[in-house]
């Protein structure tokens, strides 16, 4: 979970100002209406907001790994201001924060030092892979499994994941996935890069109860 610490008020105000300038430039109303009408994910806009020139994702990344070290309040403020403009883009940003949480909270320091600076400096889009077709978000009904792969000496070299995830925000455009699976020692998150053999991201349409489309929801298959 994110800490209760907060950024300096002046720094946060500057970030909000950057957000408003960015959305005015990259997502004016006519574009947003077209994205909704065409059910399109503006991947180029998501990548632009994670670029070195904008770097909105740095708010929720640890300072010791090239982030700004913000806390839950700062993410809340950023999400609220983003949602006033576009819920889809706000969800994409928050999904990066959510997808990074298993790395930030559950990884070893060596693993954090490997992944978080890449997310910060390369602007990697991250997706949080928990929800499944048959289980929803009920982790007790998790179906995706992680099987140990060992060398001839019995040393675990990696894991093979097998399962399907559904309704994963950023799923079709992510560079990095944190996938929850049933491992021999219990439910475990695995960091999976987009080009991993057997990983098949795919986009899908979903709807609200009223039938209105929710854009930028997608699914990922791992095998």
Determine the structural domain holding residue 213 and report its residue range.
Answer: 127-222
How many structural domains compose the chain? 2
Of 16-20, 108-112, 119-123, 210-214, minimum mean pLDDT range: 210-214
Q: Are residues 139 and 201 in the same domain?
A: yes
- Asked which of 124, 141, 164 is the last residue of a domain, the reply is 124
Helix 72-85 vs helix 9-26: crossing angle, to nearest 10: 30
Instruction: For residues 183-195, give the mean pLDDT.
Output: 94
On whether both 200 and 156 belong to a single domain, the answer is yes
CATH number at residue 26: 1.10.540.10
Q: How many CB atoms lie within 10 A of CB 110?
A: 7
Residues 20 and 60 in one domain: yes
pLDDT of residue 204: 52
Exposure string for 63-75, b = 16+ CB within 10 A, e = fewer = eebebbbbbeebb
Residue pLDDT, tens place only, 29-81: 999 999 989 888 899 999 999 999 999 999 999 999 999 999 999 999 999 99
131 plus 97 within the same structural domain = no
Same domain? 13 vs 112: yes
Cα 138 to Cα 22, 101, 141: the distances in Å are: 37, 18, 6
Shared-domain flag, residues 106 and 160: no
Q: How far does Cα 17 stand from its chain's mean position?
A: 23
Q: How far apart are CA 165 and CA 60, in angstroms?
A: 25
CATH of the domain at 185: 2.40.110.10
Residue 3 lies in a domain: no
pLDDT of residue 4: 65
**Are residues 41 and 18 located together in one domain of the fold?**
yes
Same domain as 150, residue 72: no
Domain membership flag for residue 186:
yes
pLDDT reported for residue 109:
95
Enclosing H/E stretch for 178: strand 176-183
Single out the residue in 109, 124, 139 at which a domain terminates.
124
Give the predicted TM-score (pTM) of the model.
0.86
Has residue 25 been placed in a domain? Answer: yes
What are the start-end ranges of the H helices in the chain? 9-26, 29-38, 43-49, 72-85, 87-106, 109-122
Let me know whether 205 and 158 are in one domain: yes
CA distance 147 to 128: 20
Q: 2 lies in a domain?
A: no
Q: What is the three-class DSSP state of 173?
A: coil
Claim to verify: residue 133 and residue 173 sit in the same structural domain:
yes
């Amino acid at each position: 979970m994110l800490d209760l610490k907060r950024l300096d008020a002046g720094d946060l105000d500057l970030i909000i100002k950057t957000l408003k300038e960015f959305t005015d430039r990259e997502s004016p109303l006519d574009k947003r209406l077209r994205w909704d009408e065409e059910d399109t994910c503006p991947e180029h806009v998501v990548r632009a907001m994670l670029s070195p020139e904008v770097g909105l994702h740095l708010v929720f990344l640890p300072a010791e790994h090239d982030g700004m070290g913000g806390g839950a309040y700062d993410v809340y403020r950023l999400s609220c201001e983003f949602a006033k403009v576009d819920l889809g883009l706000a969800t994409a940003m928050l999904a990066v924060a959510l997808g990074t949480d298993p790395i930030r909270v559950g990884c070893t320091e060596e693993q954090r030092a490997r992944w978080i600076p890449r997310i910060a400096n390369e602007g990697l889009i991250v997706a949080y892979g928990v929800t499944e077709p048959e289980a929803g978000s009920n982790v007790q009904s998790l179906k995706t499994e992680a099987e140990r792969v060992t060398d001839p000496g019995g040393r675990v070299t990696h894991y093979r994941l097998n399962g399907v995830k559904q309704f994963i925000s950023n799923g079709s455009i992510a560079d990095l996935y944190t996938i929850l699976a049933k491992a021999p020692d219990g439910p475990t998150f695995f960091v999976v890069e987009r080009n991993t053999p057997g990983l098949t991201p795919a986009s899908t349409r979903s709807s609200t109860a009223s039938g209105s489309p929710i854009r930028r929801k997608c699914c990922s298959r791992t095998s």
